Amino acid sequence: MTLNDLIHNPGSWLASGPDAGGVSFPGIIVSSRIRLARNLEGVAFPGWAGEDECTRIQGRVSGILQALPSLTPCLALEMADLSPVDREFLRERHLISNDLAQKSRGSGVVIRQDEVLSVMVNEEDHLRLQALRPGFQLPELWKEISTLDTELEKQLRYAFSPELGYLTACPTNVGTGLRASVMIHAPGLRLINEIEPIIKGLTKIGLAVRGLQGEGTEASGNMYQISNQTTLGETEPVIIERLIQIVGEVAHHEANARARLREHREATVADYVGRAYGVLSHARVLTSQEALDMLSALRLGCELGMISGLDKDSVNRLTLFSLPGHLQKSEGHTIPPDERDQARARLIREIVCRATVV
């Protein structure tokens, strides 16, 4: 298995998955993710260790990871071997973080073939375990990542304090080292101008709301990542359970927003979806940002039954493959930004043209 084999997959986070219970619109909850921060006992954190030390750690850890039952079959990548386009591609797949994408010798990632489980080596911590699935699947992910964590703990001694829990490079991760997050697609709440108060409310009760590409990014394509901030003083199941409950409520708000829009503001939704269809099927130049926003509207159109001849999975695939890394990776070569906008428009136009607005 090589990095290029991943291109043919739909990407684990944008495939179709189960939604929140009782929510009447599919696809509101796009994907779920859990990550665990772990470090090796008696070894400096990656930020303090030198490049040689990191390389030594990586060599040792990578061998162990590739042999773990939970990660088989897998792909092991060293950052030093990856081109800028490869890095962008992996970042867009949510398989490496923005931080790891900047790193070189001594850092890497091991990815299980189905992309559900992966481990970054020498990002901020020695190990960042990740479990990622489409739809609303936090309990399943917790089970899977726990198994991986247990397998790994048999091979390595983690830095652990009986008082604090798992020790991490950044104090905000000390304790469980856990961050659970859910990506939600909320065009309905945006259209009725209720997304901002909801984000404020979530922040007040200690949750973080981020954009499509994680920390420090703006919400693109009406995608919002909701995650826990607290890692200390509560058990993992408690943290996850609370997130499930709150995200379920947000998903219900979004479903209600869509129902209200469809009932009382039919022209607003039809305009929003129709314009996106019109632009995507005729534009010759599309920036990444505009493509995300328009595909979000098209996705809503599919979910409300306003688009025929195009299913949500195709829209999801377009969303992923119109990102710069995917676009260049699937064309097989680097493309300058202005030509990229034309290639993106062509890719999208050819698919969207086959659909019609009902």
Backbone angles phi, psi at 108, to 5 degrees: -170, -175
**283 touching its own copies, by CB under 8 A:** yes
Task: Choose which of 260, 278, 350, 358 interacts with its own copies (CB under 8 A).
Answer: 278
**264 touching its own copies, by CB under 8 A:** no
- CB of residue 345 vs its own copies: minimum separation in angstroms? 7
**Residue given tokens 């040689």 in the structure block:** 52
- CB of residue 305 vs its own copies: minimum separation in angstroms? 16
Radius of gyration of the chain (CA): 21
Amino acid at site 320: L
**267 touching its own copies, by CB under 8 A:** yes
CA distances (Å), 151 to each of 49, 114, 115, 122, in order?
25, 19, 18, 19
* Listed ranges 152-160, 174-182, 276-284, 315-323: which one lies at the site for its own copies (CB under 8 A): 276-284
The pair of structure tokens assigned to 148 is 């991986």
Query: Residue 154 or residue 284: which is nearer to its own copies going by CB?
Result: 284
> Three-class SS of residue 20?
coil
**351 touching its own copies, by CB under 8 A:** no
Task: Choose which of 43, 270, 335, 351 interacts with its own copies (CB under 8 A).
Answer: 270
**Residue given tokens 């800028």 in the structure block:** 84
Residues in contact with its own copies, counted by CB under 8 A, come to a total of 18
- CB of residue 338 vs its own copies: minimum separation in angstroms? 9
**285 touching its own copies, by CB under 8 A:** yes
Distance CA 52, CA 58 (A): 10
Q: Mark out the alpha helices in 131-220 (DSSP H runs).
A: 138-153, 187-191, 195-204
Query: Residue 161 or residue 268: which is nearer to its own copies going by CB?
Result: 268
Distance CA 153, CA 134 (A): 27
Query: Residue 320 or residue 352: which is nearer to its own copies going by CB?
Result: 352
**Residue given tokens 């906008």 in the structure block:** 341
Task: Choose which of 52, 153, 196, 271 interacts with its own copies (CB under 8 A).
Answer: 271
Window 108-127: residues binding its own copies (CB under 8 A): none
Window 136-165: residues binding its own copies (CB under 8 A): none
- CB of residue 287 vs its own copies: minimum separation in angstroms? 11
| C-alpha count within 13 angstroms, C-beta hemisphere, residue 86 | 16
Query: Residue 19 or residue 341: which is nearer to its own copies going by CB?
Result: 341
**284 touching its own copies, by CB under 8 A:** yes
Does the bond joining 73 to the residue before it have cis omega, within 30 degrees of 0? yes
**Residue given tokens 């930004």 in the structure block:** 337
* Listed ranges 77-85, 112-120, 234-242, 262-270: which one lies at the site for its own copies (CB under 8 A): 262-270
Query: Residue 214 or residue 274: which is nearer to its own copies going by CB?
Result: 274
* Listed ranges 23-31, 79-87, 156-164, 273-281: which one lies at the site for its own copies (CB under 8 A): 273-281
Distance CA 33, CA 135 (A): 10
**310 touching its own copies, by CB under 8 A:** no
* DSSP secondary structure, 61-127, as one string: HHHHHHT-GGG-SEEEEEGGG--HHHHHHHHHTTSS-HHHHT--TT-EEEEETTSSEEEEESSSSSE
Angle between helices 324-331 and 312-321 (to 10 degrees): 90
* Listed ranges 23-31, 85-93, 117-125, 280-288: which one lies at the site for its own copies (CB under 8 A): 280-288
* Listed ranges 40-48, 123-131, 230-238, 265-273: which one lies at the site for its own copies (CB under 8 A): 265-273
Residues at the contact surface with its own copies, assessed by CB under 8 A: 267-268, 270-271, 274-275, 277-285, 342, 345, 357
